[in-house]
Amino acid sequence: MEERLREEMRRIIRVKDPDEIMRTIKNKASDPNVKIGFGAGKLLTVKDVIEVTHPMIDKHIDYGNITKNLNSGRIKEILEQIVILKDAYDRNSLENLMNLANDLIEEVKDIVIERTLIKRILEATGDLRPIVMPASVGRSEIPNIYLVNENYNEEDRILLAYKLLSSIPVGQNISIFFEGDFHDYLKSLLRRKLDKTMLSSGDINSSRWELSQPYVTLARLLVWLRNQLWEDILRDNAVELMKASSGIIYFGSSVQIFPQLSRFVEIWLEKERNKTILESMLDSIKKFSDNSHRIGKKAVEGEIELLYDKLNFLMMRLIEGSLEWESLRRILDSMLDMAERLRKQGNDVRFSLHFISQLLEADTRGSSEHTP
């Protein structure tokens, strides 16, 4: 499992073009005040050499301590040799420069991986760290958040870190891990059909408001899968894998656990009319929010955020298998209040509430609840 973790780390690290790195070195080395080394105000930063493509992981990489490790030993020697040869133009020197640049890239990449794996995961001595579970802190920092017998061995930490590392990013602040075989299947499907390992708001027809809420993002992702990749999922006999999957939503510095998707898939994805109703609701609220923000700007941002808080709760209940009418009522009230406030300011926001009547007519029974 440790080797799989190392492979996942390598997969999410993209190395920069050696020519691009050489240009950065040449530009900075022309300033006599710039010191040879890594860090702010020095020849290079870690991100001049590599890029962590998984946004949730990038937020939790300990770049400060990694930078300290890069300013000694072999890497410093490589940088010094590159600076000496940077202006050479003979064939042998140019070949040496490229070899040195490639060596530098591999050394930096290895230190990022090993420093993250060993110091933040393998040697965490019974505690959790954000690279293992976002929002967690060490026992030495806040000891009273751990239960008396709560402990995490190396195997636990590796498994938790693997789930985060292999989760599917949706935008910059959310990533999702599906338990069971559906996760690897979905990642393979995204690579095969779209050549993607992560999804943007544009990919799933989402908005920044939706991507600020974990369950709204999950619902939008599942509706998008139903619209765009359902034929493949059916052909690959993967619907049952989706139904059996529960999972984790990593959201900023918090973690949300969602239950098995069987009931949600049966009611809101497999039933074409219900899928259309759910999508219509998401689209209507998205259009209303975008139009309101276009007119009211920052004056309505707080109200839109509250609206999506309420929508997130409704989506959480839908994912769990029930439609909560009180939450829907709160969403309706928020939209009407915001529209009325903008109207009083001389701004008319047109919007549709047709999805309300559609939801009233939706068949929300699961397959086991139908009577002959």
Read off the pLDDT of residues 207-264 as tens digits, 9 standing for 90 and up: 999 999 999 999 999 999 999 999 999 999 999 999 999 999 999 778 999 999 999 9
> Within this chain, do residues 215 and 349 fall inside the same structural domain, yes or no?
yes
- Three-state DSSP state, 168: strand
- Kindly give, in sequence order, each residue whose CB lies less than 8 Å from that of residue 141, ignoring residues fewer than 6 positions away: none
Helices (H), 229-299: 230-235, 239-244, 262-264, 272-296
In a domain, 67, yes or no: yes
The predicted pLDDT at position 140 comes to 58
- Three-state DSSP state, 13: strand
In a domain, 242, yes or no: yes
Which domain does 73 fall in, by range? 2-122
DSSP 145: G
> Within this chain, do residues 173 and 312 fall inside the same structural domain, yes or no?
yes
In a domain, 201, yes or no: yes
In a domain, 194, yes or no: yes
The predicted pLDDT at position 156 comes to 82
> Within this chain, do residues 221 and 110 fall inside the same structural domain, yes or no?
no
**Residue with token string 């996942």:** 8
122, 138, 157 - which closes a domain = 122
177-188 average pLDDT score:
97
> Within this chain, do residues 43 and 106 fall inside the same structural domain, yes or no?
yes
> Within this chain, do residues 184 and 282 fall inside the same structural domain, yes or no?
yes
pLDDT single digits (tens) 80-114: 999 998 888 888 988 998 999 999 999 999 999 98
Q: Extract the tokens encoding 300.
A: 């309505």
> Within this chain, do residues 19 and 107 fall inside the same structural domain, yes or no?
yes
In a domain, 128, yes or no: no
pLDDT single digits (tens) 57-84: 998 888 998 998 898 788 989 999 999 9
Q: What is the mean pLDDT of the chain?
A: 89
Strands 42-44 and 35-38, bridge-based pairing: parallel
* Own/partner pairs, 17-23, CB within 8 angstroms, 24+ separation: 18/98, 18/101, 18/102, 18/105, 21/48, 21/49, 21/101, 21/104, 21/105, 22/82, 22/86, 22/97, 22/101
For the four alpha carbons of 92, 94, 100 and 103, in that order, the dihedral sign comes to negative
What confidence tier does 158 reach under pLDDT thresholds 50, 70, 90? confident
> Within this chain, do residues 176 and 47 fall inside the same structural domain, yes or no?
no
Lowest mean pLDDT segment, chosen from 30-34, 49-53, 195-199, 244-248: 30-34
The domain tally of the chain equals 2
The predicted pLDDT at position 372 comes to 43
> Within this chain, do residues 11 and 89 fall inside the same structural domain, yes or no?
yes
Q: Are residues 43 and 86 in contact, defined by beta-carbon separation less than 8 angstroms?
A: no
> Within this chain, do residues 206 and 313 fall inside the same structural domain, yes or no?
yes
- Three-state DSSP state, 15: strand
Which residue from 154, 175, 153 is spatially nearest to 165, judged by alpha carbons? 175
- Quick one: what percent of the chain has pLDDT higher than 90? 62
> Within this chain, do residues 255 and 342 fall inside the same structural domain, yes or no?
yes
Q: Are residues 216 and 256 in contact, defined by beta-carbon separation less than 8 angstroms?
A: no
90, 122, 154 - which closes a domain = 122
Q: Are residues 280 and 273 in contact, defined by beta-carbon separation less than 8 angstroms?
A: no
294-306 average pLDDT score:
89
91, 122, 153 - which closes a domain = 122
Q: Are residues 359 and 332 in contact, defined by beta-carbon separation less than 8 angstroms?
A: no
In a domain, 213, yes or no: yes
pLDDT single digits (tens) 322-331: 999 999 999 9
> Within this chain, do residues 30 and 96 fall inside the same structural domain, yes or no?
yes
27-39 average pLDDT score:
91
Q: Are residues 348 and 270 in contact, defined by beta-carbon separation less than 8 angstroms?
A: no
Q: Are residues 200 and 160 in contact, defined by beta-carbon separation less than 8 angstroms?
A: no
First to last CA, the chain: 49
What confidence tier does 348 reach under pLDDT thresholds 50, 70, 90? confident
- Treating both helix axes as pointing N-terminal to C-terminal, what angle do 154-166 and 2-11 enclose, rounded to 10 degrees? 30
> Within this chain, do residues 84 and 205 fall inside the same structural domain, yes or no?
no
The pTM is what? 0.88
In a domain, 50, yes or no: yes
In a domain, 143, yes or no: no
